[in-house]
A and B are shown apart, each in its own frame.
Chain A
Amino acid sequence: MRKGVLELCILAIMKDEEAYASDIIRQMKEAQLIVVEGTLYPLLTRLKNEGLLDYRWEESKSGPPRKYYRITSDGRKTLDELRESWEELNKSVLKITKTLNK
């Protein structure tokens, strides 16, 4: 069931501005969506290869050059689809779980 959730969040984080892997990791850790950083790299690579993300290199003063990712127009489309699916799923889950409170 979690399939697609992380992808949705990654795309959502990059909706308005480009982001560096550490930024994404930080936000997702804050939201407690991921625990270990390693989770993110395969996902980012996959999204990039699917044409949903694009990246550029940027030199860093304190370390190796960084990949800055940004969302593509395909990525935006997928983001909308995923968000729609998520809302449906969320609705469905709420419908069932709200009975637990009774």
Chain B
Amino acid sequence: MKRNINVNISGLLFNIDEDAYEVLQAYLERLRMHFGNDENAAEIIKDIENRIAEMMQEKLSDSKIVITIEDVQQIIAAMGEPGEFDDEAEYAGTAGKRNFSEAFANNNLKRKLYRDPDDKVVGGVCSGLGYYFGISAALVRLIFILLTLSGMSVLVYIILWIIIPEAQTTAQKLEMRGEPVNIDNIEKSIREELHDLGNKFNDFKDKHFKKKRGGRSVFEEVIDTLVSVTVAVFKVFMGVIGAVLAVGAGLLIISLIMLLLTGSGLIIDSITGINFAAFFHFPDFLFMSSYGSELTVIGILMVVFIPLIALVYNGIRIISGQKGPSGASTTFWILWITGILILVLPATELAGDMRREASVSAEVEMSRPANDTVYVKIDKEYFDRINISDEYYEDESFVFYSDAENFFGTPRLRVYTTDSTGDVVLQVKKLSRASSYRKAHKLAENISFNYRLNNDTLVMAPLYKVSSEDKWRMQRVKLYLKVPEGVFVKYVNIDPDNPVLSGDYDNLALFIDNECEAE
């Protein structure tokens, strides 16, 4: 026997079992709680009650006049629990939002970088940047114009033009405009992301572990939070990496371009001490063919710059959250490999031209000096007779200077002590490489190097000279000074321990191997 109750739902009278009534009552209470702070709560609950009344009506027939607990359970199952409404409609907290675009803009508080086709002077880059940073497009344009005076922004503009996509659809335009980036919104967006993630995690759990709603353990909460925090940290981390990539590679590109254009790089020059302008000029002295040096320069520029541009591109992509066109990285790779292939031809040509080595030797003798001392002196006035440019390339074994028709290298001096008691002997060996022995021999002969050996002094030019037309074929000059036992070598204007000439040519090194063993 069961007690039953008369209830009035939406103006209809029902006979309902007491236990069924309690379940129904509790359900309606849950609904009221759920919609409690919604301005439309009363109306929504009324609609739901109407529907419940209708469904109850359908359960009844001539032979069935009482609503049982099974009926109520079926009705509630069809209507769903308030928590399920939210999952389906994502209703809570978004009342009033009904538009994809609005939903988009709200979900992604971080704005995306697009070019604005509606407000553009050239490519819409400035107005896009303006939206992104929340400043007026006119201000961005003004900054760009000011930067143009320094010469850089045109290139930057073109790069940005290429990598930033145009906002074509309404949704993209809304994403572009977004909301102003301020601390509140940043915090809000992080919260929303965490919340989103929490929801996703819950969905995942519900799907795979069939957990009951509302029965979340402390452990689950902790896991949730940990996952959220990890993801948030990871996103921030990726953002930082993106920024470092983009800014770092961007600066490198700018300084590389500046040093190529002006010959005085900002960063690299001060780090390496190498003047790259001379290096840039260097291919002219390498190739017999006219295309050789051009291909080399193009190839090297491609091999160096394309990875940097790719870094900037990917950095901006990470920051902006854009996926970017799918072919972009393939394109970078293809261009880079093309750069390497371009270098193959001049490299092959050069290897051929360096195949054979030949040398020319001359020997000068001088009788043992009276006071048993040989003086070695650098002819510093040599610099007055030539007109070498400021451009030079230098490493441990090679110094490269050039003027209009020639380039210069530093001779290497070796001093030997011999067992003989006879004369002082100076051997001057000029070496060169070329495609054939005969040509190499000719090039070695062409090397111009001035020296004198008289009385007790070796006077030598600080540089040897090679005509640009001969090209650089590893021409070298080696001096072997062989002194008898008991004879000293004294350096007049060079310090053999620190063989650097002072004066205008501070970086000029003279390579001296002192007191070597005899050959």
* Chain A interface residues (CB < 8 Å from chain B): 2-4, 6-7, 21-22, 34-39, 41-47, 49-50, 52, 60, 62-67, 78, 81-82, 84-86, 88-89, 96, 99
How far, in whole Å, are A65 and B12 apart by their CA atoms in the complex?
10
Report whether A39 and B89 are in contact in the complex, using a CB–CB cutoff of 8 Å: yes
- Asked if A3 and B90 sit within 8 Å, CB to CB, the answer is yes
Docked complex Cα distance between A64 and B10 (Å):
6
Tell me which of A37, A85, A99 contacts B78 (CB under 8 A).
A37
CB–CB B47/A85 < 8 A: no
Q: Chain B at the A interface: mostly helix, strand, loop or mixed?
A: helix
Chain B residues whose C-beta falls within 8 Å of the C-beta of A42 in the assembled complex: 35, 38, 40, 44, 85, 89, 91
With A6-B88, A21-B51 in contact, is A63–B44 under 8 Å at CB?
A: no
Chain B positions within 8 Å of A81 at CB level: 99, 101, 170
Chain B: how many interface residues by the 8 Å CB criterion?
45
Task: Confirm or deny: B236 has a beta carbon within 8 angstroms of a beta carbon on chain A.
Answer: no
Q: Is the CB of A49 within 8 A of B80?
A: no
Bound CA span A46–B97, Å? 9
* Contact across chains for A36 and B98 when beta carbons are under 8 A apart: no
Please give me the 7 A-B residue pairs with the lowest Cβ-Cβ distance, nearest first: A36-B80, A85-B100, A64-B10, A3-B103, A63-B54, A39-B88, A38-B80
Residues of chain A with a CB closer than 8 A to B98's CB: 4, 7, 46-47, 50, 52, 78, 82
From known contacts A38-B84, A41-B48, infer whether A63 and B53 are also in contact, taking CB-CB under 8 Å: yes
Using a CB–CB distance below 8 Å, which chain B residues touch chain A?
9-12, 31, 35, 38, 40, 43-44, 47-48, 50-51, 53-54, 57-58, 77-82, 84-85, 88-91, 94-101, 103, 107, 169-171, 323, 326
A98 to B191, CA, bound (A): 32
Give chain B nearest CB distance to A46 CB in angstroms. 6
- By a CB distance below 8 angstroms, the chain B residues around A46 are 40, 95-96, 98
Q: Which residue of A has the minimal Cβ distance to B91?
A: A42
Question: Does A64 contact B100, Cβ atoms closer than 8 Å?
Answer: no
B40:A45 contact, CB within 8 angstroms: yes
| B44 CB contacts on chain A under 8 angstroms | 41-42, 45
Q: Is the CB of A85 within 8 A of B101?
A: yes
CA distance A3 to B99 in the complex (A): 8
B80: contacting residue among A6, A22, A39, CB under 8 A: A39
Contact B97 A3 (CB under 8 A): yes
Q: List A contacts of B84 (CB < 8 A).
A: 35-36, 38-39
Interface contact B51-A34, CB-CB below 8 Å: no
**Bound CA span A86–B99, Å:** 10
Given contacts A43-B89, A81-B99, 20 further A-B contacts (CB under 8 A): A3-B94, A4-B103, A22-B51, A36-B78, A36-B84, A36-B85, A37-B51, A38-B80, A38-B81, A38-B84, A39-B80, A39-B91, A41-B44, A42-B91, A44-B47, A45-B40, A47-B98, A67-B50, A85-B100, A88-B169
B260 to chain A: closest CB distance in Å?
40
| Pairs across A and B, CB under 8 Å, 19 listed | A4-B98, A22-B51, A36-B80, A38-B48, A38-B79, A39-B84, A39-B88, A42-B35, A42-B44, A45-B44, A52-B98, A63-B10, A63-B54, A64-B9, A64-B54, A66-B50, A78-B98, A82-B99, A96-B323
The minimal Cβ–Cβ distance linking A9 to chain B, given in whole angstroms, is: 11
Residue of B nearest to A60 (CB): B54
Compute how far the CA of A6 lies from the CA of B18 in the bound complex, rounded to whole angstroms: 37
Q: Cβ of B57 and Cβ of A6 under 8 Å apart? A: no
- Bound together, the chains give a CA A93 to CA B87 distance in angstroms of 21
- Chain B residues with CB under 8 Å of A37's CB are 51, 78-80
Chain B, Cβ-Cβ closest to A34: B88
Closest to B94 in A: A3
Chain A residues near B91 (CB, 8 Å)?
Answer: 39, 42-43
Minimum CB–CB distance from A18 to chain B (whole Å) comes to 16
B89/A86 in contact, CB under 8 A: no
CA distance A46 to B35 in the complex (A): 13
Asked if A89 contacts B40 (CB within 8 A), the reply is no
For B53, what are the chain A residues with a Cβ–Cβ distance below 8 Å? 63-64
**B47 CB, min distance to chain A CBs, angstroms:** 4
**Chain A residues within an 8 Å CB radius of B323:** 96
- Which A residues are in CB contact (< 8 Å) with B103? 3-4
Closest to A86 in B: B100
Given contacts A63-B12, A64-B11, A64-B12, contact A85 B99 (CB under 8 A): yes
Interface centre among B53, B97, B100, B101 (most CB of A within 10 A): B100
Contacts known (A39-B88, A64-B53); A85 close to B170, Cβ less than 8 A = yes
A contact residues around B82 at 8 Å (CB): 38
Q: Which B-chain residue is minimally distant from A43 (CB atoms)?
A: B89
Contact of A78 with B99 at beta-carbon distance under 8 Å, contacts A3-B90, A36-B78, A38-B79 already known: yes
Task: Compute how far the CA of A63 lies from the CA of B57 in the bound complex, rounded to whole angstroms.
Answer: 6
